[in-house]
């Protein structure tokens, strides 16, 4: 508790406002996230293929608008861009609650995707405008734990509440999701109205107005960090949504209840261990933290792969649960490190674009991951599937070592060594 208290005390007032309502905001997202496909297919009667395509609109639109969102964040400020994104989120969920045709559902999901695309670079930029130094890394970690807590609790509540034979229950959860988005809007219009998250270019920086994404990507550190983020998402979050449940069902032959319990374990581990992990990685090289994460994920994927050797029994269930827990431990190492390094690499007036590159890499991995998993599992290539994931972990470790050569100690989470003091020459007698 001492660590939590000291962290909270060290936060500026604006940081406390941003963090204090995260779990409540994401509770609404948890209500709908696991049940949107079910809603489209079983409640509104769209066929499964169409429902899946409609769901893909969220990630596709988010990826398309991420680049422009980064530019707009730098030009107009994170607060303004966030307000636009939240407005889209409210409208999209409210519209989806009453969507009875594919066209209306598509429009609603496009609006939701717009919010996801603009919110990441804008929100991370706003945090970094308020919180600096080592406190920033800790903030990102605690924020990640609270997001998982809100989504996890929301998923449990939603599962107990919704009923496919009562469409009004789904209408209620989508309206609740829309209402929960009003909380950050109230913060931005009220106590945080003075935090615009925009920095003017330095007076001596004549090239700042022409900084393009290509210019940023020419920096080796940015290229390595972007590639690492893509691979980490591809073998991580891109698999949680499709590959892991598919493997658990088809190869390990576990029940849907076991899979649901696995996601509960994942959330519980993140919430329980994130602050402890933050205390352990503070002041350590972030690239080395990423390597530790890669090692942990190798162990996790090995556990999941082993379930294929003993399908259908209690050991398979235990293996799936162990995978979700160990994988979650790796997440607690990754999530504070990447956004903190991204924002420490960026200058104040280009932070939106740096965060947009990271967000784009994440969304790209989240799109490619399920596609690759579906192909491999559909062709009964379970061994190749697990081997691919382990190879990705090895690639992360290699890229982290390469990244380390191109960043300063401060960007890597440790102080740069102080220059040796000059000594006066020994007088010649």
Residue 185 has pLDDT above 90, yes or no: yes
Where do you find CATH 1.20.1250.20 in the chain? 16-189, 213-413
Is 125:140 a contact under the CB 8 Å cutoff? Answer: no
Model pLDDT for residues 96-150, shown as the tens digit of each residue: 999 999 999 999 999 999 999 999 889 988 988 888 877 888 899 988 888 888 8
For residues 92-99, average pLDDT? 96
pLDDT of 73 reads 92
DSSP 75-128: HH-HHHHHHHHHHHHHHHHHHHTT--SHHHHHHHHHHHHHHHHHHHHHHHHHHH
Judge whether residue 424 has pLDDT over 70.
no
234 vs 222: CA distance, rounded Å: 18
Q: How far apart are CA 81 and CA 125, in angstroms?
A: 11
Residue 425 has pLDDT above 50, yes or no: no
Residue 72 sits at the vertex; the CA angle it makes with 67 and 76, to the nearest 5 degrees, is 165
* Residues 348-366: b if buried by 16+ CB within 10 A, e if exposed: bbbbbbbbbbbbbbbbbbb
- Whether the pLDDT of residue 199 is over 70: the answer is no
pLDDT at 33: 81
* Percent with pLDDT over 90 in the chain: 50
The pLDDT value recorded for residue 4 is: 75
Residue 420 pLDDT > 60, yes or no? no
- Residue 429 confidence class, pLDDT cut points 50, 70, 90: very low
Among 208-222, 230-244, 277-291, 414-428, the least confident range: 414-428
21: pLDDT confidence band, cut at 50, 70 and 90?
confident
Average pLDDT on 334-354 reads 91
pLDDT at 159 over 70: yes
> Which CATH number is associated with domain 213-413?
1.20.1250.20
pLDDT greater than 90 at residue 326: yes
**Which pLDDT score is estimated for 428?**
40
Q: Residue 427: is its pLDDT beyond 60?
A: no
Res. 3 pLDDT band, cuts 50 70 90: low
The class (CATH top level) of 16-189 is mainly alpha
Rounded to the nearest 10 degrees, the angle between the axes of helix 314-345 and helix 256-281 is 40
> How long a stretch of residues is the chain?
429
Instruction: Write down the pLDDT at residue 423.
Output: 44
- What pLDDT does residue 201 have? 59
Distances (CA, A) of 394 to 232, 317, 391, 399: 11, 26, 5, 9
How distant is the alpha carbon of residue 56 from its chain centre?
17
CA distance 182 to 250: 41
Q: pLDDT tens across 362-374, in order?
A: 989 988 888 888 8
Rounded distance, CA 53 to CA 368, Å?
14
Residue 204, pLDDT > 80, answer no
What pLDDT is attached to residue 292? 97
- Say what the pLDDT of residue 2 is: 45
Task: Give the model's confidence band at 203: pLDDT under 50 very low, under 70 low, under 90 confident, else very high.
Answer: low
Contact between residue 147 and residue 19 where contact means Cβ atoms under 8 Å apart: no
Has residue 327 got a pLDDT over 90?
A: yes
Rounded mean pLDDT, 233-244 = 86
For 27-62, the pLDDT digits (tens) are 888 888 878 888 898 899 998 788 888 888 888 899
Mean pLDDT of the residues in the chain:
88
Three-class SS state of 412: coil
* Alpha carbon distance 269, 332 (integer Å): 9
The residues near 24 (Cβ < 8 Å, ≥ 6 apart) are 150, 180, 183
396 within 8 A of 232, measured Cβ to Cβ: yes
């Amino acid at each position: 508790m001492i660590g939590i208290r000291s962290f909270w005390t060290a936060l500026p007032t604006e940081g406390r406002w941003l963090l204090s309502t995260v779990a409540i905001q994401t509770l609404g997202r948890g209500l709908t996230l696991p049940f949107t496909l079910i809603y489209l297919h079983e409640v509104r009667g769209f066929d499964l293929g169409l429902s899946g395509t409609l769901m893909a609109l969220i990630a596709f639109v988010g990826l398309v608008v991420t680049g422009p969102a980064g530019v707009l964040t730098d030009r107009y400020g994170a607060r303004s861009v966030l307000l636009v994104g939240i407005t889209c989120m409210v409208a999209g969920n409210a519209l989806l609650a009453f969507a009875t045709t594919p066209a209306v559902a598509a429009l609603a999901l496009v609006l939701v995707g717009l919010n996801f695309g603009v919110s990441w670079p804008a929100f991370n930029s706003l945090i970094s405008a308020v919180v600096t130094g080592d406190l920033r890394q800790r903030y990102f970690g605690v924020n990640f734990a609270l997001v998982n807590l809100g989504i996890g609790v929301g998923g449990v509540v939603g599962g107990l509440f919704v009923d496919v034979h009562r469409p009004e229950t789904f209408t209620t959860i989508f309206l609740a999701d829309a209402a929960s988005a009003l909380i950050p809007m109230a913060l931005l219009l009220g106590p945080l109205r003075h935090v615009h998250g925009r920095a003017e270019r330095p007076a001596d920086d004549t090239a700042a107005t022409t900084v393009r994404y290509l210019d940023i990507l020419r920096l080796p550190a940015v290229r390595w960090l972007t590639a690492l983020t893509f691979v980490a998402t591809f073998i991580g979050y891109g698999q949680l949504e499709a590959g892991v449940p598919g493997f658990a069902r088809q190869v390990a032959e576990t029940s849907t209840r076991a899979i649901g319990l696995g996601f509960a374990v994942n959330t519980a581990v993140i919430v329980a261990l994130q602050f402890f992990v933050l205390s352990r990685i503070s002041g350590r090289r972030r690239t080395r933290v990423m390597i530790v994460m890669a090692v942990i994920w190798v162990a996790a994927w090995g556990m999941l792969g082993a379930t294929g050797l003993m399908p259908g029994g209690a050991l398979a269930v235990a293996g799936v649960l162990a995978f979700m827990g160990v994988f979650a431990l790796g997440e607690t190492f990754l999530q504070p490190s990447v956004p903190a390094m991204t924002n420490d690499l960026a200058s104040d007036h280009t932070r939106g674009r740096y965060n947009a590159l990271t967000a784009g890499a994440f969304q790209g991995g989240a799109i490619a991951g399920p596609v690759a998993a579906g192909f491999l599992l559909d062709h009964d290539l379970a061994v190749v599937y697990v081997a691919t994931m382990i190879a990705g972990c090895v690639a992360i470790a290699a890229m982290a070592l390469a990244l380390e050569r191109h960043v300063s100690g401060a960007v890597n989470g440790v102080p740069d060594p102080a220059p040796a003091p000059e000594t006066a020459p020994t007088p010649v007698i």
